Each structure stands twice: as structure tokens, then as C-alpha cells.
Chains A and B, each alone.
Chain A
Amino acid sequence: MTTYSFRLFIAGQTVRSQEAVANLRLLCDSRLRHRYDLQIVDAVERPELAEEERILATPTVIRLSPSPQRRVIGDLSDHPRTALALGLPNASPHSEEVRP
């Protein structure tokens, strides 16, 4: 089974940051169960990591694996589009995913 790995860049503990984390977790939980790991990086605290990945906008999520890398910018509030952009498998029928 493929394991997914994500790095989510946020900037401070803002509402937008929290929404992005919640949206991504919800998506991953519903579509990947436990087959993923998620690293959250605060660009304000770790600007050198943002520099390394050349992050401009926050929130930005990078799918580190499986390759190729994919990036999605924004608070990820549109779940189906986010899932598509990150290449996640289809959701189970009872998912709580929302489309804004």
C-alpha cells in the first residue's frame, strides 16, 4: 500500500492555518486512513525551511510522496478539488467532505 507523505506550510496559528490543517486532516483521514504522515511547518518559526522549498504563499501543502511532488496553495476548503489536486484516492460514501 502506498504511504502518503505531506508537508504543510502555515504561517502562525491563524484561523486560516487551523482551517488548512483541519481540512487536510479530514481529507487524509477519510481517504487514506492511517497510510499517511503529515508534517506541519510554521513558516514564521522556520523561515529557512520555507526558503528551501521556495514557499511564497501560505498555506501551501506539498505532497512529498508518492512522487512526483505536488503542491496546493490555499486553505483547502474545497475538498474534492483538493483531493484531485493532491491525487488522493476516492472517498468512502459516508465521508464528511464538503464543497464550499
Chain B
Amino acid sequence: MTSGNGPVSRVATAINGFDQVALGGLPAGRCTLVTGTAGSGKTLFATEFLARGIQVHDEPGVFVTFEEPPADIRSNALSLGLTIAEWERDGKWAFVDASATSTEEGAIIGAYDFHALAARIGHAVHTIGAKRVSMDSLGTVFLRFPGQATVRQELLRVAESLESLGVTSVITTERETEYGSISRFGVEEFALNNVIVLRNNLIQERRRRTLEIVKLRGGPHRTGEWLFTIDPRDGIVIVPLAFLAPHEGAVVRDRVSTGLPDLDEMCGGGVYRDAMILLTGPTGVGKTLTALRFVAAGVEAGERCLLYTFDETRQQLNRNASGWGMDLSAMEATGLLQVVSEYPETSSLEDHFILVRRVVEEFRPARLVIDTLSALERIATPRALLDFFVALGAVLRPRAITALLTSLPADRTASSAGLGIAARIDSLTDVSVLLRYVEMAGRAHRAIAVLQTRGSAHDHRIREVLLDSAGLHIGDPLHGVSSVLAGYGEPVFTADPYGAADRRAPAPRVDLDG
């Protein structure tokens, strides 16, 4: 709304993940319009913009509320641990209450302006030395005052007065649909320079919140819709997806054991410490066993290990482990193992990510297992799951955490609805290991193949795997089979040999790919 070119410095909002998407934050000293439908998180964004300013940057803020009375905003924020009442006492936060319930509006006779509002905001800003202002939300003003053109013009003046005060501000406004014109009442006309859209979609019966920066003056920002969630502890958390910069720290050169000496050998002597290993295979082929060995090797080496299971309950996992001679409870008692067992359906993918990240930050594991990624396909779109994986990599790599992620083979979904998670993330992993059933001479064999080990040589042969009570052993190369890499083993002479094995153990899966 004000002219002038050249770079505009940015104010880091300190809203979780936002500054990475905005490449620095909001334009300093400017107004940014935040628009969204009812329930999209506008008020929370406006609240957090001030709260994080106080908590992280010690910058006082003024909250102008047109809609909810201050008492409601205080109590809603308190449920997220934001102590507005305290900040008000400390002179860090001030309300300008312009909510309808508290304003006894009378008849409107003749021309009017919003100079009094501008004066009140200016007064509050000067009184507490505010650096940030939030106004929430403009739509209600249009309902309370006649003449859209007048209201728009007057609100424009108020917004300009904010810029002349030198504060960085967030103004929220409503929109009626998730896609289409930016806001009701043509408010975008005066805030064209900086516009953020919050969306709240229901996709396949699951809530999907996204944030999109439509424009920010004076510099680049990331484009597209970014998933976010409203966390009961951290508030708005934009799931940091591909924008997380690749880890630029020292390249990890040391190798760690997978827990299976033969597999280490196939990978060229273990895997790099910061590797992400993708292990795919049908149900029952030995993925969980491999994962448990991986964890046991870590615990033996005195490393902290985090085991996430989305497929089994804690009791089932314990039983399986003890069947293979591993005592999970004893490992946990050493403090080196933490097991988290969750059903995917208990929360959204974004929430799962935030939980994983939180546990990683707090527990600081050297190894992480997720068994299985495929279970998450039940609750997420393919795109979201890919984002999850990329985001996970951004959390793990800087910490040089060795990760083993299991998945059902890609071909299972390839036939029905696009590629499964395994096919999509294959190119993003460092080590790719396949476990497969092969039927030969009327007997089901297990086969293992290492498809890639980034940055090192590996065994290209398809080897037989033997599973017994002592665990998983890698045997001789298999000859006379084909199509193992396609997701199933097929003896050269027989047609459809694996069908029986496949039907025996149907995957717990619901395809959401549409």
C-alpha cells in the first residue's frame, strides 16, 4: 500500500516453521493480510504472532479485536500455555477492544471515519512500546457498519496508520471458500503486497490444514500450500517439509552395523551413520525382525534407540521380540531404548510428525526405526506421506541418526491406485533393501537384495534369507528366479507362484490415493 522499492527487511515471527516458508518472516513495518474461512486458524495466527514476539524476541504487541472479546482470547490462548494476562500486567501485551459486544453502537447518521480507532491503536502502541500489532478480524466491521466502500477505505487508513507507526502487523479477514477470491468485502484491494491464505480442507474425511503465502513484498518466499497443524503444546506448527535445507554439516564417514553381519557385508561394510534405510517386503517376510535386530545392535553398542511401531501393539512387539530371543523390556530398562506404539488413526500425519520430532529432540536417539511407513498410508494422501518422509529426513540427517524405515512393497498398490510409499521415496533413501518371497520347487523361500547404497559399493546379487528362531541369516545367491525386483519372486518356469503367499497375509491397508 505504500510505494517504494528495494529490499524490505523481515521480522521473524517465531511461529513454528513459518519463517522458513516465508524465508525470513513478515515484511518489517508492513501490514500482512491473513485470510481464511471460519475455523482456519486466523485468530490463532494473529495471537501467536504477538505471543512469539514476546516470548522469543521480547517485542511487545497490541491486539486489536473486532470479533471475540479479550476475555475469550485470553482463555483460548491460555489453553496453549500463552499467558496473555501476565503479559498484560508486565506491559508486554495490550488489547484494543473493538469487539461488538462491548461497543454500544448506535445509529449511524451521516459520514464517519475510524480515526478514533487509529488513535486508540496508536496510544496502545506508544504506551507499551509495541513492535507488533494484530487486528482480528476485519469481516465483522463490514457487518457492523454500513457502506462497504466507506468501511474499506477507513480500514485502509487504519492499516496505513499502522505502517506509519513503524509496527509490523497482521490483519485477518474472512473468506467464504477455500479457493477463489482472496477475501470477502474486497479487503485484498488494499493489502495486495502481503497476503497469506490459511485453508482448512476436509479431504477423504480427514482435516488438512495448509498455509499458503500468496505474496510478500520485497523478497522471495516459498510457494505452494504448506501443511500445518494446531498442536496443543506448540500451537501452529507448519510441518517443515522440503524447505528444510539439506544438511550442510560435516559428511559422516563412519559406518554402523545394521545388526545383521551378512547385511552389513552386502552393504559394503555396514551403513553410514546418517543413512536412511528403506526396507520393503510383504507381511511376514522378516521386516520387524530385521528392525528389532537393528535396534538390538544399537543398544549393544550403547546407543540410544527409538522404535516406532504403527502396526503392532507394545505387547505384540514384546512377544515377537522374545520369540526371537530379544528382551525389549530389559533394553528399555537400560534407558537406551524407547518404544512408541501408536495406531496411525489416532492423529493426523502432521501430528505424528510433530510427535516423532519431539521425541527425537528430547530422547536424542542414535537410531530410529519406523515400522511400518505403509501403515501411515491409511491416514494420508501420497503427497502428504512423501512430505512426511522428506521432513523426517530433515530432522534425522543433521543429527546423524541412522534410520530404518520399513514398508510394504510398492507393487501392492501399483496395481490398484498409483505407487505405494516405497516406490515414491525410494529415490530419497540412502540404502534400499528388499525382502521378498520366492517360490521354488514348491517351497517358499525368502530373498534379499540391496538395490542401492548411496556412496558405497554393495552386493548386487539376490541372496536367500533363512529365518529361524535365532533370527535372520543371509545365505547363498539365488539362481533361477526372476522378477524379485519387481516386487515378487518368480521362478523362471512357473506362472504366478507367489499368489498363495500374498493372499495368506493381506496387508492392513486402505488405499486413499483415489
User: Interface on A for B, CB 8 Å cutoff?
Assistant: 9, 11-12, 16, 19-20, 23, 43-44, 47-48, 50-51, 54-60, 69-78, 81-82, 85, 100
Q: Is B116 an interface residue (CB 8 A)?
A: yes
Contact present for A55 and B116 (CB under 8 Å): yes
Known: A11-B115, A85-B107. 6 other contacts (CB 8 A): A16-B112, A23-B110, A56-B103, A72-B108, A74-B108, A76-B110
Residues of chain A contacted by B319 (CB below 8 angstroms): none
Identify which of residues 43-91 in chain B touch chain A, using a CB-to-CB cut-off of 8 Å: none
With A54-B98, A56-B114 in contact, do A44 and B119 touch (Cβ < 8 Å)? yes
Q: Contact at B119–A77, with CB atoms within 8 Å?
A: no
- In the bound complex, do residue A56 and residue B110 qualify as a contact, i.e. CB atoms below 8 Å apart? no
Query: Does B109 make an interface contact (CB < 8 A)?
Result: yes
Contact with A along B106-126 (1 / 0, CB 8 A): 111111111111011011100
Q: Closest Cβ of chain A: how far from B91's Cβ, in Å?
A: 15
Size category of the B interface is 20 to 34
**B205 at interface (Cβ–Cβ under 8 A)?**
no
Beyond A54-B102, A71-B106, A73-B105, whether A16 also contacts B111 by CB under 8 A is yes
Residues of A within 8 A of B123 (CB): 47-48, 50-51
Contact status B109-A50, CB under 8 Å: no
Cβ of A91 to closest chain B Cβ, rounded Å: 16
- The CA-CA distance from A12 to B117 in the complex, in Å, is 13
Of A69, A72, A82, A85, most B-chain CB atoms within 10 Å? A72
Across the interface, which residues of A come within 8 angstroms of B110, CB to CB? 19-20, 23, 74-78, 100
CB <8 Å contact, A50 and B116: yes
B209 to chain A, nearest CB (A): 32
Residue with the greatest number of chain A CB neighbours at <10 A, chosen from B97, B103, B112, B122: B112
Alpha-carbon gap, A82 to B109, bound state (A): 7
B119 near A50 (CB under 8 angstroms)? yes
Give me the interface of B with A, judged by CB distance under 8 Å.
Answer: 96-98, 102-117, 119-120, 122-124, 145, 154
A73 near B107: Cβ-Cβ < 8 Å:
yes
Q: Which residues of B contact A48 (CB under 8 A)?
A: 123
Residues of B contacting A73 in the complex (Cβ-Cβ under 8 angstroms):
105-109, 112
Residues of B within 8 A of A57 (CB): 108, 112-114, 116-117, 145, 154
Tell me the bound Cα distance from A73 to B110 in angstroms.
Answer: 8
Residues of B within 8 A of A82 (CB): 107, 109
Minimum CB–CB distance for B282 against chain A, Å: 66
Judge whether B111 and A47 touch: CB under 8 Å.
no
Are B109 and A43 in contact, with the CB atoms below 8 A? no
Chain A residues, Cβ within 8 Å of B113:
11, 16, 57-58
**A54 to B106 Cα, complex, angstroms:** 13
Q: How far is it, in angstroms, between the C-alpha of A47 and the C-alpha of B120 when the chains are bound?
A: 5
Contact of A56 with B116 at beta-carbon distance under 8 Å, contacts A47-B122, A47-B123, A48-B123 already known: yes
Distance of B448 from chain A, by nearest CB (Å): 72
- Name 13 interchain pairs, CB-CB below 8 A, sorted by A: A11-B113, A43-B115, A50-B116, A50-B120, A56-B116, A57-B117, A71-B105, A74-B112, A75-B109, A75-B110, A78-B110, A81-B107, A85-B106
Which of B103, B108, B115, B124 gathers most chain A CB within 10 Å? Answer: B115
Assess whether A12 is in contact with B109, with CB atoms less than 8 Å apart: no
B120 & A44 in contact (Cβ 8 Å cutoff): no
Closest A residue to B113 by CB, please name it: A58
Contacting pair B96 A51 (CB below 8 A)? yes
In the complex, are the beta carbons of A85 and B109 less than 8 A apart? yes
Sorted nearest first, the 6 A-B pairs with minimum C-beta distance are A11-B115, A71-B106, A47-B123, A74-B110, A75-B110, A77-B110
Q: How far is the CB of B466 from chain A (nearest CB, A)?
A: 79
Q: Are B116 and A77 in contact (CB under 8 A)?
A: no
Known contacts A47-B120, A51-B120, A54-B98; decide if A12 and B106 are in contact (CB<8 Å).
Answer: no
Q: How far is the CB of B208 from chain A (nearest CB, A)?
A: 37
Q: Are A77 and B111 in contact, with the CB atoms below 8 A?
A: yes
- Cβ-defined partner of B116 (8 Å) among A16, A23, A60: A60
CB distance from B287 to the nearest CB of A (A): 63
How far apart are the CA atoms of A58 and B111 in the complex, in Å? Answer: 9
Known A-B contacts A16-B111, A73-B112, A75-B112; A55 and B120 likewise in contact (beta carbons under 8 Å): yes
How distant is the Cα of A55 from the Cα of B102 in the complex, in angstroms?
10
Expressed in whole angstroms, the minimum distance between the Cβ of B169 and any Cβ of chain A is: 17
Tell me whether B109 and A72 are in contact (CB under 8 A): yes
Q: Are A43 and B119 in contact (CB under 8 A)?
A: yes
How long is the Cα–Cα vector from A69 to B145 in the complex, in angstroms? Answer: 20
A71 proximity list for chain B (CB < 8 A): 104-106
